[in-house]
Amino acid sequence: MNSPGLADTPPLHAITARHTRGRLVHRHRWPIRLMHWINVVALTILFMSGLQIFNAHPSLSLGNRSDPGKEILALDARMGANGQLVGVTRIGRHEFVTTGLLGVSAGPDGQPQVRGFPSWLTIPGPRWLAMGRQWHFFFAWVFVLNGLTYLGYSLATRHFQRDLVPTRQDWRGIGRSIVDHLKFKHPHGEEALRYNILQRLAYLVVIVAGIGIVLMGLAMSPRMDAVLSPMVEAVGGRQTARTIHFILAWGFVAFVLIHVFEVIITGAFNQLRGMITGWYRIDAEPATNETTSATEHRHD
Amino acid sequence: MTDRRSFLRLAIGGAASLVLAGCDRISESSWGPKVLNKAQGLNRRVQALLAPSSALAKEYTEADLSPVFRSNGTAMPTTTAYQALLANGFRDYRLQVGGLVDRPLSFSIDDLKQIEQVAQITRHDCVEGWSAIGKWHGTRLSHVLDKVGVQAKARYVVFHCYDEMDPGEPYYESLDIPEARHPQTLLAWGLNDKPLPIKNGAPLRLRVGRQLGYKQAKYIARIELVDSFAHIGGGNGGYWEDYGYEWYAGI
């Protein structure tokens, strides 16, 4: 390491000042940054209040009906031989004991309680469907309005066309990009400013998933179904729509995990600064400790 | 660096538990639910715009019926008034319709059948998330309202029920006039070609095509037309509404 004194955690502005050799570029414009963080809040609350709503009927079905015994997923509970509650997760015909996490977990008093997802994953923590719905529908509006603004802004400023739609060259490099990602190799310098093919595809898929999850949410509304029923029937029915809504929600979780992982291994502080202040440092030298292995990874 | 990693981990973990605790505090505050509830008014207006009040719920076929139409909430009312009616096979049942009407009237189930008999196969969506499909037989509420003559100042139709969720807390619900006059709003006395089962609300329940299950009051004792439901129950227009559920249950 040739950057001294990074073991302690200096304030961000100090890092910026110290790396005079590095070049700070203004990477993300403020509307994108603002919308990104609004999305973080909205998605977190939507996910956790969504699990609260799911807990009121902790199973998934296909079609238009929820016939007992035909669930494709069920978070259930039964009484064990010793009189203890046992949490059971059923996927199709397979059954798993998931006490403590799914089916049965600690309630507010610490005692085992019958509930689909545990209280630390739901908003509100205790079982409270009415309040979960209040949170969910409020932040659904935040998510939808933020998403529409993002799409409009990205199209108007050509951010979408320029940075997200893959070029022919991007497509040609997909094989190498996959291998690089698997080896945790990441571009440096100017190259790092450009979204690579997998990033572009990931963001495009997330946008489509965002539209999809809203539509599947609307498909659960009996009033909206008076006009949306062709769409509801096209996906297979209201319960199928609910199942897709659930799967897409977990898809967002998977995206966020990968996204945060990539942020960390490509320099969490630099990336966070980029998304908070807009300023992103590109440097041929290893920037911070998070990119220690950059030297041996440099391939261009 | 480990310091930085642990700092990050601490920051993220701390933020998460703060968010959770914060959300629970807001849920229990006096102002939080009011702010969150703003979205409900928006839902109602936007849904009325996108799905006009004349829009119909999808009707299914016999092949789509649920093998068993499940029961939720009360499955057997315990009140003496209900038990007395039940003992006599509901022969003494009379639906009372009053309030802001020109001619307060009462109807037996046969009276309702004489007005009209319609059947519809619609999906029932519970606020909990499950759905069931049933074939409902009944009389459109709009026809009953026409018989009694709704006064111009009436804004809501309130359904008072025989079942008590807790002792002294009877179930009740309410609809606005346009929803009450919707062609798929039925006073249902039959399910799947049979008299309405007790667990599903015998002798008479409400069916609303485009709202959630809790709006569809079972065991209806009387119907009252009002200009405000502020003086009824907890003042929110329905039993579950008094426990924080939305009065408008279109989503």
DSSP codes of every residue in A19-63:
-TTSEEEE-S-HHHHHHHHHHHHHHHHHHHHHHHHHHTS-EE-SS
**N-term to C-term CA, chain B:** 48
* Residue B209 to residue A128, Cβ atoms within 8 A: no
pLDDT value, residue A7: 36
CB atoms inside a 10 Å sphere around CB A250: 10
Cα-based angle A238, A240, A241 (whole degrees, multiple of 5)? 60
Q: How far apart are the first and last CA of chain A?
A: 21
Inform me whether the pLDDT recorded for A184 exceeds 80: yes
Considering CB atoms only, which of B1, B245, B250 is closest to A222?
A: B250
Q: How confident is the model at residue A282, as a pLDDT?
A: 87
Confidence at residue A191, expressed as pLDDT on a 0 to 100 scale: 84
**Closest C-alpha among A79, A95, A99 to residue A87:** A99
Torsion of Cα atoms, B80 then B81 then B87 then B90, to 10° = -160
pLDDT value of position A22 = 76
Q: What pLDDT score does A192 carry? A: 86
Q: Between chains, do A221 and B47 touch, taking CB under 8 Å as contact? A: yes
Please indicate, yes or no, whether residues A179 and A253 belong to a single structural domain of this protein.
yes
Identify the domain containing residue B106 by its residue range: 57-243
For A186-208, give one letter per residue: b (16+ CB within 10 A) or e.
bbbeeebeebbbbbbbbbeebbe
Q: Report the domain count for chain B.
A: 1
Q: Which of B51, B127, B130 sits opposite A224 (nearest CB)?
A: B51
Let me know whether A247 and A272 are in one domain: yes
For A105, the domain range is 59-116
Number of CB atoms found within 10 A of residue B92's CB: 10
* Statement to judge: residues A193 and A215 lie in one domain: yes
Q: Are residues A145 and A221 in the same domain?
A: yes
Contact assignment for B127 to A129 by CB distance below 8 Å: yes
Q: Do A129 and B23 touch (CB under 8 A)?
A: no
| DSSP string for residues in B100-157 | SBSS-EEE-HHHHHHH--EEEEEEEE-TTS-EEEEEEEEEEHHHHHHHH-B-TT--EE
Same domain for A79 and A193, yes or no, is no
Across the interface, of B19, B36, B66, the residue whose CB is closest to A44 is B19
Single-letter amino acid, residue B163: D
Contact B39 A141 (CB under 8 A): yes
- pLDDT of A233 reads 97
Residue A79 inside a domain? The answer is yes
Statement: residue A299 has pLDDT above 80: no
Residue in B19, B27, B51 nearest the CB of A227: B51
Nearest to A135 among B7, B23, B47 (CB): B23
- Asked, for residue B137, whether it belongs to a domain, the answer is yes
Q: Which of B33, B70, B211 sits opposite A134 (nearest CB)?
A: B33
Asked if A205 and A280 sit in the same domain, the reply is yes
Domain CATH code at residue A279: 1.20.950.20
**3 state DSSP class of B97:** strand
**pLDDT tens digits, residue range A236-266?**
999 999 999 999 999 999 999 999 999 999 9
- Do the Cβ atoms of A9 and B4 come within 8 Å? yes
CATH number of the domain residue B82 falls in: 3.90.420.10
At A3, the pLDDT band (50, 70, 90 cuts) reads: very low
Q: Domain tally for chain A?
A: 2
In a domain, A26, yes or no: yes
**Mean predicted lDDT score pLDDT of chain A:** 88
* A272 and A242 in a common domain: yes
**Between chain A and chain B, how many beta carbons pairs sit less than 8 Å apart?**
147
Q: Which two tokens stand for residue A200?
A: 């572009």
Q: Is residue B14 part of a domain?
A: no
Q: How far is B202 from chain A (nearest CA, A)?
A: 23
Let me know whether A238 and A265 are in one domain. Answer: yes
Q: What pLDDT does B211 receive? A: 97
pLDDT of residue B8: 65
Radius of gyration of chain B (CA): 22
**Does one domain contain both A98 and A153?**
no
Contacts with B245 from chain A: Cβ below 8 Å:
130, 133
Contacts of A124 in chain B (CB under 8 A): 23-24, 27
pLDDT, residue A109, reads: 82
B214 in a domain, yes or no?
yes
| Chain B residues within 8 A of A131 when measuring between CB atoms | 27, 33, 244
For A128-183, the pLDDT digits (tens) are 999 999 999 999 999 999 999 999 999 999 999 999 999 999 999 999 999 999 99
**Under 8 Å between Cβ of A39 and A203:** no
Collect the ranges in chain B with pLDDT lower than 70: 1-5, 8, 12
Region of poorest pLDDT, from A13-27, A124-138, A250-264, A286-300: A286-300
- Interhelix angle A30-55/A268-276, rounded to 10 degrees, is 100
Residue A144 lies in a domain: yes
Nearest CA of chain B to the CA of A110: how many Å? Answer: 16
**Do both A141 and A180 map to the same domain?**
yes
Taking only the tens place, the pLDDT of each residue in A51-109 is 999 999 999 999 999 999 999 999 999 999 888 999 999 999 899 999 999 999 998 78
CA distance B184 to B138: 10
Of A71, A89, A116, which residue constitutes the final position of a domain? A116
- Judge: A221–B250 Cβ closer than 8 Å, yes or no: yes
Last residue of a domain, one of A116, A145, A165: A116
| pLDDT tens digit sequence for A195-234 | 999 999 999 999 999 999 999 999 999 999 999 999 999 9
Chain A nearest-CA residue for B241: A130
Domain C-terminal end among A92, A116, A140:
A116
Contact A221 B251 (CB under 8 A): yes
DSSP per position, A199-241? HHHHHHHHHHHHHHHHHHHHTT-HHHHHHHHHHHHHHT-HHHH
Whether B225 and B156 have beta carbons less than 8 Å apart is answered as yes
Q: How far apart are CA A260 and CA A36, in angstroms?
A: 13
Answer whether A66 sits within 8 Å of B130, measured CB to CB: yes
Are B107 and B141 in contact by the 8 Å Cβ rule? The answer is no
Cβ contacts (< 8 Å) between A64 and chain B: which residues?
60, 64, 123, 131, 133
- Do the Cβ atoms of A66 and B129 come within 8 Å? yes
Question: What ipTM was predicted for this assembly?
Answer: 0.92
pLDDT at A197: 94
pLDDT of residue B10: 74
Q: Flag if A138 and B35 touch (Cβ within 8 Å).
A: yes
State residue B2's pLDDT score. Answer: 55
Is residue A121 in a domain?
no
Cα–Cα distance measured from residue A285 to residue B66, given in angstroms and rounded to the nearest whole number: 66
Distance CA A262, CA A117 (A): 28
Which of B42, B124, B130, B175 to mutate against chain A (most A CBs within 10 Å)?
B130
Q: Closest to B131 (Cβ–Cβ): which among A56, A226, A239? A: A239
